Structure 1
Amino acid sequence: MSTGDTCYSETECLLLPKSTASHGHASVRETILNIMKSCMGTGCLALPFACQQGGIVLYVAGVALIALWNVYAVERLCRCWELSAKITRATPPPNGTTQLGTVMWYAFGKRGLWVLEMLLLVFFMGVLVAYLAAIDDFLSDTPFYHRGVVSFVAGLGMVLLSLVHDMGDLSRASALGLIVLASSCLLVALVGIQQILRQLQPTSLSPLHWWPVSRQGWSHWFGIVVIGYGVVPLTYNLRDSMTEPHRMVEATSRALSVVFAFYVFLGLGLYSLFPNVQGELLQEMGNGLIPILTRLAMAGVVLLTAPLLLVPCSELVEGKLFPNRQERSRQEMSFVRCSMGAIAVGLAMLVPSFVEALALVGCACVGVLGLCLPPLLHLQLASEASFGVRLVDGLCLLCGGIATIVSTLYAVGLL
């Protein structure tokens, strides 16, 4: 591949000289769509449950705070990449190391890189498993459901959509997924309104919770909302897919502003319609025609969301299997992505509840990667930053660490 060609992955861009490496072809608008779609997935069906568990006050304030935190984290990661480019060491990072891995290498060396790669693999695979388990949950009450067939078709569709050169190629699928998601939420709302109209005494409906229902409820709220903003681990993949990578923070800010408004509207609106929700909303809808159509639509949303996680997950593995190759063949890329998809499908068949899986992955992996890692890296690399900047990083690291540890312990039942 010549240096004037478009980079096909963030790993390829890393292997080119920094002065000549080019980027992807996604515009700011397409990147905004990809960020929005990476956030607005099947986890949206668990937002009313998060609102119920955390209470209305904490839900609204927390959704806003975590959105701002993600914009801050993306800005810090972009800044860390600029700082790492100025560092010279006798031992460069191994060939095939991703950009986030390169930043970690210059900040904490070989051990730091190993820890990061393990966290990323667990995060990507954890969310993929939860999403594929969601497809099985959604379609389990439909008349044509067969678990083996559904799992195979879901895995095959996910892999086929992931066979792209970079994440900019997924922007059209992201736009379609957002349309399907909006339509599905509308159908759920219609069912909720219909159920309320059937109530002879609407005042007998359960009251809404303004504050957390329990300490474990706080953990459910935190894990579900945090994973709903899981854009930070994808920062460099999305940035390298852009024609104007310097506008990544702007694209993130604009995308998460829309996501915040959507989450507040969706969480509060559907919680008011389903005050007794005990998990994802499709469990509350029965087995009529509209619920079946909604389940099919949400299964489609999952299939359009999963490739946004399978692509970077596979690139991480490809970089280790083919460390000395600037460009992998189509066959090699297909083999790795099919293998990762097959592993995810197999694990998904062992998961009892995708809501619990989302909460645990959100509390543990996303908490570490999204809340703790960016300020930690910036503290390590920006040694000449002002006291105010380092104070903000330190406070964010402290708060993120406490929230991650406590919520994870609650999620696994140790507190």
Structure 2
Amino acid sequence: MQTAGVAVVDGQVLAALPPGVTELTWTARLDPVSELTLTASADPRVSELWTLDLSTLWHLTWHGLAPVYQREPLAQWLPQWRPRAGEQLTLELTRPLGVPGATLTFDRVAAQIAPGQRGSTVTLTLALRSSRGGNHLLPLPAGVEPLRIALDGRALPVPIAAADGTIAVELPLVPGSQQVTLTWRDPQPLGVHFTPRLPDVGQPAVNLNVRVQMPTDRWILLTTGPLLGPAVLVWGVLLVVTGLALALGRSRLTPLRTRDWLLLGVGLSVAQVWANLLIVGWLFALGAHQRQRQLHTAPTGWRLWLLHTGLAGLTLAALIALLIAIQQGLLGYPDMHIAGNDSTAHVLNWYQDRTDNALPKVEIYSLPLWVYRALMLAWALWLAVRLLNWLRWGWNAIAAPIKHEQRNDASVV
């Protein structure tokens, strides 16, 4: 008995209720046992209620009475029994044995890489949970230079490289959740093919994120890595352009052949869709009008004047669209249509749900931006030469006399 002033006679509590008192509460302690038998009072005037507050560390089985109430939804398990006079309840309590397993779990791993011409800066953030204290050894890639290590915002000593150039970070762990941030400098420069070097965390991990912040002076061509990541969609656009060039090259309404359509489409792939439709529509409108004149089906009078005015306006709009496309190609940044997992032209994001040990491997193929500008300059020079021929052909389609028409006029005279 732990409550002072409460008498116990022959293993029973002697409850004395003074006048005006309707309730008496006391606290008693039982020694831990694997089996406990409860017996209700034989006095039919006594009504009892048994409630068991059981910790989650114990497993309960009972014999005899069934509980009348167990728990509310999303509430703690509190089984209750209402025995009648003289009924018994036997409770068997066992503690489940632990099973072998890992004591360290990585709930989230986030790597941020900022590559450059002289090296890369890598920041690795680990959100981990440990069920016991100890140390966890995290080896870094060979040749890197550790800059900062923090555990829950508290700075830790930066390790020194061993004789063979390897560096291992020893993380002090305590039971519970922790967050570790490591920053290091990797001398690996940014080249045509770039693969960030990331460490092996040494434990299964979930929710892995890799983010690469590419410089603005790089032209991203292709990326590989986990499925949930960036994709360079411009190659699909160029595939469609190739198919359209093969189809448009068969038409004889314009002097453009398949090679012309292909080069024109590749250069205009960075332009807006409306600009492409406008230029193609302009060329085919001129070709259709020339075909009408050859077949003597072109309108006359004010309708012909209205048609020529429309073609002149369409020509001016197409030339403006070409100038805008050339300006975007020479002065703007190439639109490679990069999308996927919130990726942009300069920020590439990958996500992987789980891994055994190693972090996801990502690859980036890129070129200096001046290579793109040089190619666009060559395309602009080619377009300038070809555009003169197309304008001459367009003028002939509108204003130049057709010999067949002249012969018909002479015969009439």
Fold agreement, TM-score > 0.5: no
How does the TM-score come out when normalised to structure 2? 0.21
Name the structure where helix makes up a greater proportion of residues.
1
Name the structure where strand makes up a greater proportion of residues.
2
Q: Of the two, which has the highest radius of gyration?
A: 2
How does the TM-score come out when normalised to structure 1? 0.21
